[in-house]
């Protein structure tokens, strides 16, 4: 789509959103607003570039008469290429899910109880990261380990405001095997062990984006349980849904009623089925998602958390930093910025 076409689309959306009747359909208005928000940075940058070029031409014409204009021309001569570069980046094809919320799953792998404890550390890291960004995080389901970690846990992370760059735009890079190197609490000799936990990330989707046949579902209800398997509910309110054609199983036990748990589990199922459908339909787009975890094996890692050296290393982009405590406390932006920059560079090179 050309820049002129995008500018025209933005103007049309602005006019439509100014029409009160459009907002009678809240879902439709929200969709228009989302697209308008996606186009606004492009329009703003294009206008700034046009103005900078005009100002540069004027400043150059007047530079011979006044040194002030010569200095302005030099500054604008640097501004124009920077804006051109920014506009080029904005015009790159966007990930259609960048504004989406996410469902994030963490599964312990090799390393036994230590892996489960590390899965709990990763969960806390993501919960703290969500808190730093003002997002809402909700643990949907989890299987506890004996020492207080998680064999597996599922969490939904949502932005409180709708923006073009939502939760998925940041956390989509987290899929893969995360490796930890440290002395486990169960190690009496003080030896460093290596274990791993796997992370899967799915964009949440609107219900209309995927159709699920009720005949393809098996719905089981059971009693919610807390730490150590203790019952936290006197009724069978927890829900487990099995999608028979794919074998995908999702469960939710943290809502107050069976209906709420079923609705939440259906949202997770929809997200997972949509991701699966995209893998089949779009080979290129599916590669990153399908290879998030091949096996939760210590050698199949995207990132290493080394406690003795307080080092975090992301092996995909060669990122290293010695601030492990801060990262595990949710200070993830530096590593995610490095991954996003590498992604932009790759797309620029391909474009």
Residue 61 near residue 76 (C-beta atoms within 8 A): no
How far out from the chain centre does Cα 32 lie?
A: 22
For residue 253, how many other CB atoms are within 10 A of its CB?
22
Instruction: State mean pLDDT over 314-339.
Output: 96
Residue 108 burial (C-beta neighbours within 10 Å; 0-12, 13-18, 19+): buried
Instruction: State mean pLDDT over 273-280.
Output: 78
Confidence of residue 292 (pLDDT cuts 50, 70, 90): low
Q: For the full predicted model, state whether its pTM sits above 0.85.
A: no
Confidence of residue 235 (pLDDT cuts 50, 70, 90): low
Check residue 27 and give its pLDDT: 82
**In this model, does residue 75 exceed pLDDT 90?**
yes
CA separation for the pair 260, 271 (Å, rounded): 17
CA separation for the pair 32, 42 (Å, rounded): 16
Q: Hey, is 191 helix, strand or coil?
A: coil
CA separation for the pair 260, 255 (Å, rounded): 6
Check residue 208 and give its pLDDT: 44
Instruction: State mean pLDDT over 285-312.
Output: 70
Of 154, 152, 155, 142, the closest CA to residue 115 belongs to: 152
**In this model, does residue 340 exceed pLDDT 60?**
yes
**Between 108 and 233, where is the model more confident?**
108
pLDDT tens for each residue of 167-208: 999 999 999 999 999 998 777 788 899 999 999 998 886 654
Instruction: State mean pLDDT over 217-228.
Output: 76
Check residue 84 and give its pLDDT: 95
**In this model, does residue 300 exceed pLDDT 70?**
no
> Which of 7-11, 185-189, 255-259 is least confident?
185-189
Instruction: State mean pLDDT over 117-124.
Output: 96
**In this model, does residue 286 exceed pLDDT 70?**
no
Instruction: State mean pLDDT over 141-170.
Output: 89
**In this model, does residue 227 exceed pLDDT 60?**
no
Beta bridge partners of 240: 220, 251
Element (DSSP H or E) covering residue 276: helix 258-281
pLDDT tens for each residue of 30-72: 889 888 988 999 999 999 999 999 999 999 999 988 889 999 9
Check residue 299 and give its pLDDT: 54
Residue 50 near residue 12 (C-beta atoms within 8 A): no
């Amino acid at each position: 789509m050309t820049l002129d076409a995008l500018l025209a689309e933005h103007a049309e959306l602005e006019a439509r959103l100014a029409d009160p009747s459009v907002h009678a359909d809240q879902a439709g208005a929200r969709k228009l607003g989302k697209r308008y928000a996606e186009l606004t940075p492009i329009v703003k940058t294009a206008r700034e570039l046009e103005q900078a070029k005009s100002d540069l031409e004027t400043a150059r014409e007047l530079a011979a008469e006044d040194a002030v204009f010569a200095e302005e021309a030099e500054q604008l001569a640097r501004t124009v290429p920077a804006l051109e570069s920014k506009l080029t980046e904005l015009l790159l094809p966007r990930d259609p899910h960048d504004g989406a919320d996410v469902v994030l799953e963490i599964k312990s792998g090799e390393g036994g109880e230590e892996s489960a404890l590390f899965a709990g550390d990763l969960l806390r890291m993501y919960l703290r990261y969500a808190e730093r960004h003002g997002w809402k995080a909700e643990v949907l389901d989890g299987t506890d380990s004996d020492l207080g970690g998680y064999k597996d846990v599922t969490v939904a992370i949502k932005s409180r405001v709708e923006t073009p760059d939502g939760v998925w735009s940041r956390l989509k890079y987290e899929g893969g095997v995360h490796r930890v190197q440290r002395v486990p609490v169960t190690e009496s000799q003080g030896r460093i062990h290596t274990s791993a936990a796997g992370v899967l990330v799915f964009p949440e989707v609107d219900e209309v984006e995927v159709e699920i046949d009720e005949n393809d579902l098996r719905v089981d209800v059971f009693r919610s349980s807390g730490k150590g398997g203790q019952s936290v509910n006197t009724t069978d309110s927890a829900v487990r849904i099995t999608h028979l054609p794919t074998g995908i199983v999702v469960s939710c036990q943290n809502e107050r009623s069976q209906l709420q748990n079923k609705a939440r589990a259906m949202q997770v199922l929809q997200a997972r089925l949509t991701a699966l459908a995209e893998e089949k339909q779009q080979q290129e787009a599916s590669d990153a998602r399908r290879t998030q975890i091949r096996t939760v094996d210590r050698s199949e890692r995207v990132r290493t958390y080394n406690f003795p050296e307080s080092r975090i290393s992301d092996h995909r982009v060669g990122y290293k930093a010695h601030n492990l405590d801060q990262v595990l406390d949710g200070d993830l932006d530096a590593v995610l910025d490095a991954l996003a920059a590498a992604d932009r560079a790759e797309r620029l090179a391909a474009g």
